[in-house]
Amino acid sequence: MTIHPKIAEVTERIRERSRDSRTLYLRRLDAAKKAGVRRAGLACGNLAHGFAACGVDDKASLKGDVVPNIGIITAYNDMLSAHQPYETYPEIIRQAAREAGGVAQVAGGVPAMCDGVTQGQTGMELSLFSRDAIAMAAAIGLSHNMFDAAMFLGICDKIVPGLMIAALSFGHIPTVFVPAGPMTTGLPNGEKARIRQLYAEGKVGRAELLEAESASYHGPGTCTFYGTANTNQMMMEIMGLHLPGSSFVNPNTPLREALTKAAAKRALAITALGNEFTPIGEIVDEKVIVNGVVGLNATGGSTNHTMHMVAIAKAAGIQLTWDDFSDISDAVPLLARVYPNGLADVNHFHAAGGMSFLIRELLEAGYLHEDVKTVWGHGLAAYTSEPKLSEGGAVVWTEGARESLDEKVLAPVTKAFQPSGGLKLLHGNLGRAVIKISAVKPDRHVIEAPAKVFDTQDGLLAAFKAGELTGDFIAVIRFQGPKANGMPELHKLTPTLGILQDRGQRVALLTDGRMSGASGKVPAAIHVTPEAVAGGPIARIHNGDILRLDAVTGELDVLVDPAEFAARRPATPDLAENEHGMGRELFAMFRAHAEAAELGAGVF
């Protein structure tokens, strides 16, 4: 398979840019591999603590280095619909490990907050930084040096990126990520969005809104729209860290349980005690990072990954930039239409051919690197297969779909929905930003209009209710970056701006905050860097300034006299209210030390 020239070019420049940092990472990984898991070498008191609560057989197995031990890191809690199914996974994994001649222990739990619960609430200001807190919590779990392999149970927004950062910091340990799958289809996402807009206009009440939301989010599993959680699952599979075809199998089904058992047995097979030793730090190289970005663009995935993938790559010694995202997006066609890029949900995507069809199409067209390591073995071609249950209840893999079963949802490369992935880098005298245009109509890709400036999303909503948002405008929502308030998502803006656009107004959003994979039809320049609180030009925009957002040429400019604009005093709001309450005081060090969005918006 010949790789596409642009994909090859971007991969090579990432490799060159990362040469020193990747070499250092691999040198440290080799040292950790040589040291090995020192379970039998632990002092007797240490080891006794490590297996004190185990059963007799497991305890006997753990007394030496002969039997492999899996460390389970779980993000289980029963408030998150996506994570509730993980409640039973540890016992499933322990039993599967015993059947395969190994042992498994829960090494630790990590926090897992639900952005759906905290949207528009104070707690959302902890959301982005929870990624780094998750990485640290997972590292604590693995620090006991008791484990030959790791299994990570996590699925949602910041959770998988945090687990990935932790896994790569323990890059010498073979690691398998284990999904739980999406909830079954409920109220269609398009209908849910319609009810939200009607509520924002005052045409339906809270009772009707809650009924619609409850019919949409109705059971165990991830939300069915294609936001960050489901983008995570796609990326873990296309990067070779899930078992083939396992990402979008619904929870609490026989196939889902069989896949979890198979994942445990595979984790044991790739330890240093076997013949297929495959540390995660060797899997995740420049080619695998590029494969993840290709998948992100080919499916119209979450813009949150323009930060998360940078942070994940950095954890492996790889330097990924927004320019890489943009250039890959320009080359890779959009093959999926899943809400908000279309009306279908992820269950429809899976039924239409899912990951096996998507990966086959991208491989055959040269958009993916096939010659990579995966948890399943060497080569990404194995991920063009899909799992089935045998008569005995075990998983068998068969050839995946060669043709899409619904080309309105999942298209072949020859019938791509658009020639590019839809993620664009914007840059100009307002700094750098990203925009997702896969769900934005072409006649909205360029907006030139006066600025309406707000320091909070509630300020814009109040102006809407007061009837002040008339005519064409670009809404500027600033002081929403990592250093200001933790960079909460601004989903409360989506219905309101959608209403104004539907009325015929030409509107757009410019913010140093986040919108994520659920952002839709309104053009939104997000993650503006530098952020306002760090002295970014966005802090000098005045009401009425003409702004130009051009997603075709990649321009992001304020059209005023450059000297006059540079001489303006930046706005400096009082952020004291962001510093306490709902745990925010505990995250002060994160806000103080957070890097820019373009560098991953983290503290590592």
Find where tokens 């809270």 sit. 206
Calculate helix-pair angle for 354-364, 228-238, nearest 10 degrees: 60
DSSP state of 580: S
Question: How far, in Å, CA of 448 to CA of 226, rounded?
Answer: 29
**Residue 176 in contact with residue 96, Cβ under 8 Å?**
no
**Three-class secondary structure of residue 72 per DSSP:** strand
- 423-449 average pLDDT score: 94
pLDDT of residue 215: 83
pLDDT of residue 268: 97
299: Cα separation from own chain's centroid? 13
- Residue 422 confidence class, pLDDT cut points 50, 70, 90: confident
pLDDT of residue 113: 92
Residues forming beta bridges with residue 344, ordered by sequence position: 338
On the 0-12 / 13-18 / 19+ scale of CB atoms within 10 A, 572 is: exposed
Question: How far, in Å, CA of 409 to CA of 250, rounded?
Answer: 19
pLDDT higher than 60, residue 448? yes
Residue-wise pLDDT for 363-404, tens only, equals 999 999 999 999 999 999 999 999 999 988 889 999 999 999
pLDDT of residue 127: 94
Question: Which tops the pLDDT comparison, 439 or 222?
Answer: 222
Residues 6+ apart with CB under 8 A from 185: 224, 345, 347, 348
- 80-87 average pLDDT score: 96
**Residue 11 in contact with residue 286, Cβ under 8 Å?**
yes
**Token digits of residue 570:** 């930046």
- 27-44 average pLDDT score: 85
Find where tokens 């040096």 sit. 145
Residues 6+ apart with CB under 8 A from 211: none
Residue-wise pLDDT for 258-290, tens only, equals 999 999 999 999 999 988 999 999 999 999 999
Residue-wise pLDDT for 306-322, tens only, equals 999 999 999 999 999 99
Question: Which tops the pLDDT comparison, 93 or 50?
Answer: 93
pLDDT higher than 60, residue 210? yes
Number of C-alpha atoms within 13 angstroms, CB side, residue 316?
Answer: 27
Percent of the chain whose pLDDT exceeds 90: 80
**Residue 459 in contact with residue 541, Cβ under 8 Å?**
no
pLDDT of residue 519: 56
Average pLDDT, the chain: 94
CA-based max dimension of the chain: 77
pLDDT of residue 383: 98
Q: Considering only CA atoms, which of 261, 222, 266, 265 is closest in space to residue 240?
A: 266
Q: How many helices (H) and strands (E) does the chain have?
A: 23, 16
Question: How far, in Å, CA of 448 to CA of 501, rounded?
Answer: 14
Question: Which tops the pLDDT comparison, 213 or 557?
Answer: 557
Residue-wise pLDDT for 158-171, tens only, equals 999 999 999 999 99
pLDDT higher than 80, residue 65? no
Among 365-374, 416-425, 446-455, the minimum mean pLDDT is found in 416-425
pLDDT of residue 72: 98
Strand 377-378 and strand 175-178: the pairing is unpaired
Question: Which tops the pLDDT comparison, 189 or 344?
Answer: 344
Residue-wise pLDDT for 560-573, tens only, equals 999 999 999 999 98
Q: Considering only CA atoms, which of 269, 229, 241 is closest in space to residue 75?
A: 229
pLDDT of residue 63: 83
Question: Which tops the pLDDT comparison, 76 or 574?
Answer: 76
**Residue 373 in contact with residue 240, Cβ under 8 Å?**
yes
pLDDT higher than 70, residue 407? yes
Q: Considering only CA atoms, which of 417, 300, 294, 419 is closest in space to residue 363?
A: 294
Residue 240 main-chain phi, psi, to 5 deg: 80, 25
pLDDT higher than 90, residue 48? no
pLDDT of residue 353: 96
Q: Considering only CA atoms, which of 2, 508, 554 is closest in space to residue 323?
A: 554
pLDDT higher than 70, residue 301? yes
pLDDT of residue 214: 78
- Residue 577 confidence class, pLDDT cut points 50, 70, 90: confident
Strands (E) across 341-430 are located at 373-374, 377-378, 385-389, 395-399, 423-428
Residue-wise pLDDT for 109-151, tens only, equals 999 999 888 888 999 999 999 999 999 999 999 999 999 999 9
Residue-wise pLDDT for 501-555, tens only, equals 999 999 999 999 998 645 578 999 999 999 999 999 999 999 999 999 999 999 9
